[in-house]
Amino acid sequence: GYTLAVATNQSGIGRNYFTVETLTEMHAKMHRLVQQAGGKIDGIWFCPHTAADNCGCRKPKPGMITDIIERFNAEAADTWLVGDSLRDLQAIDAAGGKPALVLTGKGKKTLESEGDNLPANTQIFDNLLAFSQYVMQEKAAREAKEI
């Protein structure tokens, strides 16, 4: 019952490390793997720019996030962004959403080096499974109150 979107900085395109076509192939593989696991990605947004381009879509700016929220007619305050970098958390915070730091990937390093700079409302989880369990428990608690 959730919409799942991916927002990813891909400056490798802007630096000519790889092409949009290569990125499209990576995204197709990600879609396949998620579907094989029983999930679904509803959309993927990417920023091909480098930091020097000073665009509005490259995280930590909220451009991709606000576009996703508008595209799915969502409420920013009800929208989570799960990431492993400070810029991920800053982007969703700037859009009015809920930041979640996972300690996988670069997450532990982010917490160690940027812990004092995390948005005030950041939730921290060991991994994506822990985050998803939290969201499901939160949903169950809301539904129980409605009964």
- Domain at 52, CATH number: 3.40.50.1000
Residues belonging to the chain: 147
Largest CA distance in the chain: 55
Q: Residue 13 pLDDT > 90, yes or no? A: yes
pLDDT tens, 111-135? 999 999 999 999 999 999 999 999 9
- Give the sheet arrangement for strand 123-125, strand by strand: 80-83, 98-102, 123-125
Q: How many domains does the chain have?
A: 1
CA 30, CA 13: separation in Å to the nearest integer?
A: 18
Ramachandran angles phi, psi of 119, nearest 5°: -55, 145
The reported pTM is 0.92
State the average pLDDT for the chain: 97
- pLDDT confidence band for 146 (50 / 70 / 90): confident
Q: Residue 51 pLDDT > 90, yes or no? A: yes
Structural domain of residue 48, as residue ranges?
5-146
Question: Collapsing DSSP states into helix, strand and coil, what is residue 87?
Answer: helix
Tokens of 15: 């630096």
